[in-house]
Amino acid sequence: MSSGRNSLDGTVAIVTGGAAGLGRAEALQLARDGATVVVGDVDESGTSVVDEIEALGGKAAFVPGDVGERATADALVSTAVERFGGLHVLVNNAGITRDRMLFNATDSEWDEVIRVHLRGHFLLSRNAAAYWRGKSKAEGKLVYGSVINTASEAFLLGAEGQPNYAAAKGGIAALTVATARGMARYGVRANAICPRARTAMTDQVFGPPPETSDGSAGSGGVDPLSVDHVAPVVSYLASPEAASISGQVFVVHGGMVALMAPPTVEARFDTSGATWTAGELADKVGGYFAGRDEPRMFAATEVMSL
């Protein structure tokens, strides 16, 4: 069933939030490229994705559960390892939104979004990392492991109506880099994508798809916000073809992949004395910002022009 060059034959992948939307598209793409897929979701309709994969001639299993719960992470990894013989690819995709301006956000809306997104990514990444480290040590060689996490442009922009979601996604980007750095010695890679895609979770943002596609550049006649633009990128990052790519953050949509640069040092300020004084800070730091464009912040607003 593999598509050829981007072969995942013989690999086992976990995809969370795989019952619908982007997760479903990712699970199906991984299966088409040869992977056996463990689909995780709170929605029991995930069984239909397993049916679709099996209809394609592939192998799959559905594990129900909330990714914010340790038991779900345990069940997903144990299903991959015990039922299918191993784990090679982890796609952390499951998520929710509870959009609210900061001053209106409730404790539960904050906690729930952080739990599902950031804790959910952590639990599965930790379990997968422990499995890969143990396997590498037992076999005395590097293993094959690829983690693809799901961040968002919300963290790059500091989305004002999504402080909980932006914070969770920023945490996921940091977790991705830490995973890549900490697991490289065992042969494991980790990358994050910021997908701009039309799903049930984003329907309040992007609305319904166009009735007819205009076939604009790069879209090939497909809705520019279709999940079908994102799934092949995820499968590529999971594959041996992307062996040299790790610790990166990509913005993905509409036939485009943009590699984000890490933060850079814009300016350095040093005191002339033993310690800072209020006047010196006002002169050196405050003077630097005098006349500066106020909306210019620690935010990658240029992504909106992609």
pLDDT in tens, the chain (306 residues): 654 566 999 999 999 999 999 999 999 999 999 999 999 999 999 999 999 999 999 999 999 999 999 999 999 999 999 999 999 999 999 999 999 999 999 999 999 999 999 999 999 999 999 999 999 999 999 999 999 999 999 999 999 999 999 999 999 999 999 999 999 999 999 999 999 976 565 555 555 566 654 444 444 567 777 899 999 999 999 999 999 999 999 999 988 999 999 999 999 999 999 999 999 999 999 999 998 888 899 999 999 888
Is 169 catalytic? The answer is: yes
Pairing status of strand 12-16 against strand 36-41? parallel
Amino acid in the structure at residue 111: D
Is 288 catalytic? The answer is: no
Query: Are the CB atoms for 200 and 206 separated by under 8 Å?
Result: no
Active-site residue among 125, 152, 226, 239?
152
What is the helix (H) or strand (E) element at residue 52, kind and residue range? helix 46-55
Please report, for residues 128, 203, 205, 256, 260, the alpha-carbon distance to residue 212 in angstroms, rounded to integers and kept in the order given: 42, 18, 19, 20, 32
pLDDT value of position 199: 58
Is 186 catalytic? The answer is: no
CA angle in degrees (0–180, nearest 5) for 127-31-54: 110
pLDDT value of position 226: 83
Query: Are the CB atoms for 189 and 243 separated by under 8 Å?
Result: yes
Active-site residue among 136, 169, 239, 246?
169
* Residue 202 dihedral angles phi and psi, to the nearest 5°: -110, 10
Active-site residue among 165, 219, 226, 235?
165
Please report, for residues 10, 166, 244, 245, 255, the alpha-carbon distance to residue 240 in angstroms, rounded to integers and kept in the order given: 12, 31, 9, 10, 21
The whole model's pTM is what?
0.90
